[in-house]
Amino acid sequence: MVPFYRIACVPGIGSSGRALYGGGKATKHLPSSLPELPVCSGMPIPQAYRNLRAHGLLQAWVMALAAGGMLALLPAAMASVPLPRPRPAEVPAVAPEAAPQVGDEKKSAPAEPATPEVSACRKSLTDDIAIAPSIAPIRDASGCGGEDLVRLEAVVLRDGRRVGLKPAATLRCEMARAVADWIREDASPLAQSLGSELDALDNFDSYSCRGRNRVKGAKLSEHGKANALDVRSLDLADGRKLSLTDRALAPEVREKVLWSVCTRFTTVLGPGSDWYHEDHIHLDIAQRRNNYKLCQWNIYEPLPATPPFLPAERPSDAPAPATSEPSKGEAGAAAGKAE
């Protein structure tokens, strides 16, 4: 009978433990001591086997065999474990993260400033509504300026025609939007009701870094925040000019404009508000507590064609008015009497 381990005429005990004890009629019984390995097929006895036998390291021997067995079972076990799907080709490779180093935060370059978010107003103020390109924020050391600014060049009416602002106004987007809505929805229909079309808006002032009413040291004007517009007139396509503070302009027209702007803007200042607004109408959208609005614009009656304090011209055939002045005769008589 051939000893079961005789089939293990292979070199390397540690790596071929299963071959030694797993094949043929190999018994499950482990020898208490390692048997003499027969020399077969002219192969040398592995030195490791000699060492094991010489030192009686049976425990190591068994562990080696067990490890060998587990390794052999590994392929089968791996086949049953679900593996992640292969990485798609189009997914960019993940750059290996460098281990953070002490002092990295000091060496790292300053972060790029974040791109300012586009405001909801800016998104809504499209070319269909106004020609109003964005301009850079103004940050004046005195406190003037603002963010989300535009240069309002023209308002686009529903039929595509443009009403120019002359000159173009520098405004915050919200104010520009309010002006555009006013022109599209109120001012343009008013011009049509007068038998013409609105052609332009006379811009007297928009952004200006100054105190209220141009008074030095006064509280910052809404003009300094790019939040206000001064209007002198609405110019019609037929050449007429609706000068808003002109008494010669029909009061009904001025009243319509007054009601319109006082509904849409939070501040309206015109003739009668103070001495600074006799020749233009100030509009802004300043926010106040409880949404308080300021609407100060007196619609003066037109001046009479003939000033009442001047007397009518005296007809040439009218009798001479009686006066208290003595006539020459009376004067001479009086003088004679006096003399």
232 contacts Zn ion (rule: CB under 5 A): no
Gap between the Cα atoms of 149 and 135, Å rounded: 6
Task: Closer to Zn ion by CB, 188 or 267: give it.
Answer: 267
Task: Closer to Zn ion by CB, 37 or 152: give it.
Answer: 152
Task: Closer to Zn ion by CB, 169 or 249: give it.
Answer: 169
282 contacts Zn ion (rule: CB under 5 A): yes
CB of 109 to Zn ion, least distance (A): 45
Q: What are 173's two structure tokens?
A: 């987007």
Secondary structure (H, E, C), 191-232 = HHHCCCCEEEEEEEECCCCCEHHHCCCCCECHHHHCCEEEEE
C-alpha 290: how far from chain center: 26
Gap between the Cα atoms of 285 and 121, Å rounded: 14
**Cβ neighbours of residue 196 closer than 8 Å, sequence gap 6 or more:** 236, 237, 238, 240
Task: Closer to Zn ion by CB, 45 or 295: give it.
Answer: 295
- Count of residues in contact with Zn ion, rule CB under 5 A: 2
Buried/exposed code over 263-276 (b: 16+ C-beta within 10 A; e: otherwise): ebbbbbbbbebeee
Task: Closer to Zn ion by CB, 20 or 261: give it.
Answer: 261
Q: Which of 25-33, 45-53, 229-237, 285-293 is the region at the interface with Zn ion (rule: CB under 5 A)?
A: 229-237
CB of 274 to Zn ion, least distance (A): 11
β-partners of residue 235 are 200, 241
Widest CA span of the chain, in angstroms? 192
202 contacts Zn ion (rule: CB under 5 A): no
Preceding omega of 308 cis (within 30 degrees of 0): no
CB of 223 to Zn ion, least distance (A): 6
Task: Closer to Zn ion by CB, 232 or 282: give it.
Answer: 282
CB of 228 to Zn ion, least distance (A): 5
Nearest by Cα to 163 from 134, 123, 197, 196? 197
CB of 286 to Zn ion, least distance (A): 11
- Find the binder of Zn ion among 230, 231, 265, 271 (CB under 5 A): 230
CB of 144 to Zn ion, least distance (A): 14
Q: Which of 55-63, 116-124, 226-234, 294-302 is the region at the interface with Zn ion (rule: CB under 5 A)?
A: 226-234
Binding site for Zn ion (CB under 5 A): 230, 282
